[in-house]
Amino acid sequence: MDLLEYQGKQLFARHGIPVPDGRPARTVDEAVAAAKEIGFPCAVKAQVKIGGRGKAGGIKIANDEDEARAASDAILGMDIKGFTVHEVWIETAAPQIESEYYASIVFDRGAKAPLIMLSTQGGMDIEEVADSNPDAIATLHVDPLLGFQDFHGRRLAFEAGIDADLVRPVGAFLHQLYGTFIAEEALLVEVNPLIVTPERKVAALDAKVTLDDNALFRHPDNANLRDPSDEDPQEQMAHERGLTYVKLDGDIGILGNGAGLVMSTLDVVAHYGGAPANFLDAGGGSKAEAITSAVEVILSDDKVKAVLFNIFGGITRCDEVANGLIEAFKTLDPKVPFVVRLDGTNDVEGRKILADASLPNVHTAATMDEAAQKVVALAKGEAA
């Protein structure tokens, strides 16, 4: 789960990381009240999970109440690269900045260890720095059982070429950042820019945090930060039903069991010239209700012109899938054709149940390739 900037900053503040004072606001009135509390000048910042806010006009400085009102009125509801702004963050306008650094910790699955990165080239796209001047980024993997040591901070700071008087404070900052990464079970914490003030103090002027969804049961406060309004309606519906669903651009609804098989099904459909409308993994051990529920999610996307079921039963039983599909036809009365391929545990029973039910507009296929070819034809309005 990605956090908004201000949620990340609030998380940082709880771990003692210096961040500018700020307040979140969802309406213009809330924003003006927040600005008066913070004092002027203040920054009004759009809260969206996409980069390039500044260029899009999503960050404005307000010198008085009228300007705060005008700025929040302009930013709230704004569309930034397809993301609607539902919230702004009113923040003490950036103190004078002497330098902009970059600091991050990522869960490096290749190396199987947290990777810390530090650079004096902050304030810009770090991927560009990595391309044009890779030596400007100091990197270090931390042994997860040993944890962060003070010398890690010194080594990174010296290697990044940080001013001598800042080696200790930057090291302390990284130590706190690592503590946050571990304590909150993050997959990414990124600070860009990490600023240096004329008083030679460091602070996080931005915060990008990705948390591990699988660990949220240990962090109920973080779990509450999920904002359903920024999820696609179908994805939200699927999420509530415990299904793994990703919306795509095409017109063929896909349901399968197991992430790999579903990905493969998308590929095979594309291979035969079709365009999948979604990725939907009904999961292992799918019961009839889960299947009915999944069909409802798929059909709630009105672009869908045909649906492909590709099931290979392991834990999942094909007779359960067949019963779920029959139930779905009873309750939802779908108008689009279905192609169903059942293989694996109880496939004979499953196919028999479907044959006996003789559902309207349901086609069967013996292989994945045949199923894909049929559904592609049906989506184009041709005979299967």
Partner 1 sequence: MAVLIDNDTKLVVSGITGREGTFHALNNKSYGTNVVAGVTPGKGGQDVEGIPVFNTFRDAVAQTGANVAMVFVPPRFAADSILEAADAGIPLVICITEGIPAHDELRVYTHLQRTGTRLVGPNCPGILSPGKANVGIIPASFFKEGNVGVVSRSGTLTYKIGNTLAQAGFGNSSIVGIGGDPVPGTSFIDVIELFQADDQTELIVLSGEIGGDAEERAADYIAEHVTKPVVAYIAGFTAPPGKTMGHAGAIVSGSKGTAVAKAEALEAKGVRVGRTPTEVAEIAVEILGG
Q: Which of 44, 72, 40 is nearest to 60 (CA)?
A: 44
CB 163 within 8 A of CB 171: no
Residue 188 lies near partner 1 (rule: CB under 8 A): no
Residue 190 a catalytic site member: yes
Residue 133 lies near partner 1 (rule: CB under 8 A): no
Least Cβ distance, residue 326 to partner 1 (angstroms): 22
CB 129 within 8 A of CB 122: no
* Number of residues in the chain: 384
CB 339 within 8 A of CB 255: no
Binding mask 55-94 for partner 1 (x = CB under 8 A): ----------------------------------------
Least Cβ distance, residue 49 to partner 1 (angstroms): 11
- Residue (94 or 248) nearer to partner 1, CB: 248
Contacting range for partner 1; rule: CB under 8 A; set: 57-65, 148-156, 264-272, 352-360: 264-272
Which of 13, 33, 59, 113 binds partner 1 (CB under 8 A)? It is 113
Binding mask 282-321 for partner 1 (x = CB under 8 A): --xx--------------------------xxxx------
134 preceded by a cis bond (ω within 30 of 0): no
Least Cβ distance, residue 31 to partner 1 (angstroms): 30
Which of 138, 368, 371, 376 binds partner 1 (CB under 8 A)? It is 368
Residue 231 lies near partner 1 (rule: CB under 8 A): no
Residue 279 lies near partner 1 (rule: CB under 8 A): yes
Least Cβ distance, residue 52 to partner 1 (angstroms): 15
Q: Which of 211, 199, 101, 82 is nearest to 156 (CA)?
A: 101
- Rounded to the nearest 10°, the torsion over CA 43, 49, 54, 57 is -90
Which of 83, 343, 349, 352 binds partner 1 (CB under 8 A)? It is 343
DSSP β-bridge partners for residue 344: 313
What angle in degrees, to the nearest 10, is found between the helix axes of 368-379 and 259-271? 60
Give Cα 193 distance to the centre of its chain: 22
Residue 259 lies near partner 1 (rule: CB under 8 A): yes
Contacting range for partner 1; rule: CB under 8 A; set: 5-13, 36-44, 170-178, 215-223: 215-223
Residue 267 lies near partner 1 (rule: CB under 8 A): yes
DSSP β-bridge partners for residue 79: 84
Q: What are 57's two structure tokens?
A: 């006009």
- The single residue of 87, 91, 184, 190 carrying the catalytic annotation is 190
Residue 272 a catalytic site member: no
Residue 129 lies near partner 1 (rule: CB under 8 A): no
Least Cβ distance, residue 163 to partner 1 (angstroms): 32
Q: What are phi and psi of 22, to 5 degrees?
A: -165, 170
The DSSP-derived string for 155-218 is HHHHHHT--GGGHHHHHHHHHHHHHHHHHTTEEEEEEEEEEE-TTS-EEES--EEEE-GGGGGG
The DSSP-derived string for 235-248 is HHHHHHTT-EEEE-
Q: Which of the residues are catalytic? A: 102, 190
Binding site for partner 1 (CB under 8 A): 107, 109-110, 112-114, 127, 143-145, 182, 185, 187, 212, 214-215, 217-218, 244, 246, 248, 256-264, 266-271, 276, 279, 281, 284-285, 312-315, 343-345, 367-369
